[in-house]
């Protein structure tokens, strides 16, 4: 089947920054991949008189007196995004490239907690006494503004949002910016938070797994999800393959997972939030499958976290066992951690309408 739209992508991942419930930095993420599933924290949601598990980013993880020194008033979403973007740049070993570097942030819900904080000021103090600082920080693109200022990036900057495939869409746009020559490198990533109201909404709409465990391979009926939050950024460029984690070979939408040759490992975005029948139908019995949502939780931008795992696996030539191995449908799970020869991986996502997005990650070649 001819894809409805696709990108013949040739960009390299030069650096990764990540902040998630397990901590900050690609090394911490690698530790989490090796360690396997850990029970997430539980948090009181007083207004609904419930205690819920959430893969939340701890305030201590955001403690940084260097990168965040000029943004004390920024909210959690912005701080997560700035730290992840800064770490991706540092991880790449390159310097900020001023106006030749761009930023694209994709988010499903944006700074919703700050928006609710702003509504608090309207309700509590009246329309004429609201906080301009909170309002400014509630705007979706505040996080990117902080990133640009913190890293002195003056190229194109963009914040985008959608609920299906937010990361894949942004990743594809980064590729176009490189192809168009709008910049030489792009910090492209995701950020989403799970504040109090979102925890309530998540629990009401989807329920929350009481034991805090995401079971990505239950597929249908899906096992209850557990909300997550965090940020991942990738520094991508068409150049410098010698420093790369991997090359992004293709980003394709609505063409099913089988449009290209078989991969060594398939990563799936299954996280309990949508029925997974489409995954079950699409997976090949000969290709090992992994899903890392049990490490970072269920969130619409989770594909970026899976891609970070994929890029790391290709760079290290190591595969990491899926953190939760419950496998009622007996699919071919990646269930051991160890050295491997990995040339091609696919990151596969389906939405609730069984539309697909596939990112192909391939070992870089000089």
Give residues in contact with other proteins (CB under 8 A): 4-7, 47-49, 99, 103, 107, 109-110, 112, 115-116, 118-120, 122-123, 126-128, 130-132, 135-142, 144-146, 148-149, 151-164, 169-170, 172-173, 176-177, 179-180, 182, 197, 200-201, 204-205, 253-254
- The kind and range of the H/E element at 352 are none
HSE-up of 174 (CA within 13 Å, CB side)?
Answer: 32
Q: Are strands 230-237 and 41-45 parallel, antiparallel or unpaired?
A: unpaired
Q: Cα-Cα-Cα-Cα dihedral of 272, 35, 339, 88, to 10°?
A: 80
Three-class DSSP category at 330: coil
Nearer to other proteins, 132 or 338 (CB): 132
Nearer to other proteins, 60 or 127 (CB): 127
Q: Are strands 185-192 and 101-106 parallel, antiparallel or unpaired?
A: parallel
* Among 36, 62, 70, CA closest to 152: 70
- Residue that the structure tokens 């819920």 belong to: 52
Nearer to other proteins, 142 or 314 (CB): 142
Nearer to other proteins, 165 or 245 (CB): 165
Nearer to other proteins, 140 or 243 (CB): 140
- Residue that the structure tokens 């930095």 belong to: 25
Q: Whole-number minimum distance, CB 231 to other proteins, in Å? A: 16
Nearer to other proteins, 131 or 318 (CB): 131
Q: Whole-number minimum distance, CB 332 to other proteins, in Å? A: 32
Q: Whole-number minimum distance, CB 141 to other proteins, in Å? A: 4
Nearer to other proteins, 139 or 354 (CB): 139
182-210 core/surface letters (b: 16 or more CB in 10 A; e: else): ebbbbbbbbbbbbbebbbeebbeebebbe
Nearer to other proteins, 78 or 94 (CB): 78
* Among 246, 285, 239, CA closest to 262: 285
Q: Whole-number minimum distance, CB 30 to other proteins, in Å? A: 31
Three-class DSSP category at 357: strand
Q: Whole-number minimum distance, CB 323 to other proteins, in Å? A: 28
Packed helices 196-206 and 112-125: angle between N→C axes, nearest 10 degrees: 110
| Separation of first and last alpha carbons in the chain | 32
Q: 346: which strand partners?
A: 266, 360
Q: Whole-number minimum distance, CB 148 to other proteins, in Å? A: 4
Q: Whole-number minimum distance, CB 116 to other proteins, in Å? A: 6
- The distance between the two most distant Cα atoms of the chain, rounded to a whole number of Å, is 63
Q: Whole-number minimum distance, CB 48 to other proteins, in Å? A: 5
Packed helices 302-316 and 26-35: angle between N→C axes, nearest 10 degrees: 90
């Amino acid at each position: 089947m001819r894809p409805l739209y696709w990108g013949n992508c040739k960009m390299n991942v030069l650096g990764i920054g990540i902040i998630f419930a397990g901590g900050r930095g690609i090394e911490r993420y690698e530790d989490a991949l090796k360690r396997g599933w850990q029970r997430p924290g539980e948090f009181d949601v007083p207004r609904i008189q419930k205690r819920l598990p959430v893969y939340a980013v701890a305030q201590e993880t955001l403690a940084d007196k260097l990168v965040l020194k000029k943004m004390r008033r920024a909210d959690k979403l912005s701080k997560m995004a700035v730290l992840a973007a800064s770490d991706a740049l540092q991880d790449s070993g390159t310097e900020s490239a001023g106006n030749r570097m761009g930023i694209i942030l994709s988010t499903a819900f944006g700074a919703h907690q700050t928006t609710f904080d702003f509504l608090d000021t309207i309700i509590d103090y009246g329309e004429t006494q609201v906080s301009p600082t909170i309002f400014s920080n509630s705007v979706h693109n505040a996080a990117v503004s902080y990133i640009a200022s913190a890293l002195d990036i003056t190229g194109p900057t963009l914040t985008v949002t959608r609920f299906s495939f937010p990361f894949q869409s942004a990743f594809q746009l980064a590729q176009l910016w490189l192809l168009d020559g709008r910049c030489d490198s792009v910090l492209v990533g995701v950020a989403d938070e799970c504040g109090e109201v979102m925890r309530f909404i998540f629990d009401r709409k989807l329920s929350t797994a009481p034991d805090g465990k995401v079971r990505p391979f239950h597929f249908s009926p899906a096992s209850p999800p557990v909300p997550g939050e965090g940020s991942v950024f990738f520094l991508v460029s068409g150049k410098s393959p010698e420093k790369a984690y991997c090359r992004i070979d293709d980003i394709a939408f609505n063409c099913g997972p089988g449009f290209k040759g078989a991969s060594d490992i398939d990563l799936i975005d299954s996280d309990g939030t949508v029925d997974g029948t489409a995954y079950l139908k699409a997976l090949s019995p000969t290709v090992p499958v992994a899903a890392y949502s049990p490490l970072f939780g269920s969130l619409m931008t989770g594909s970026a976290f899976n891609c970070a795992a994929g890029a790391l696996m290709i760079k290290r030539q190591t595969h990491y066992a899926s953190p939760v191995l419950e496998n009622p449908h007996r699919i071919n799970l990646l269930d051991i951690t160890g050295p491997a020869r990995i040339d091609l991986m696919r990151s596969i996502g389906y939405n609730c309408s069984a539309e697909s997005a596939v990112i192909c990650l391939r070992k870089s070649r000089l």
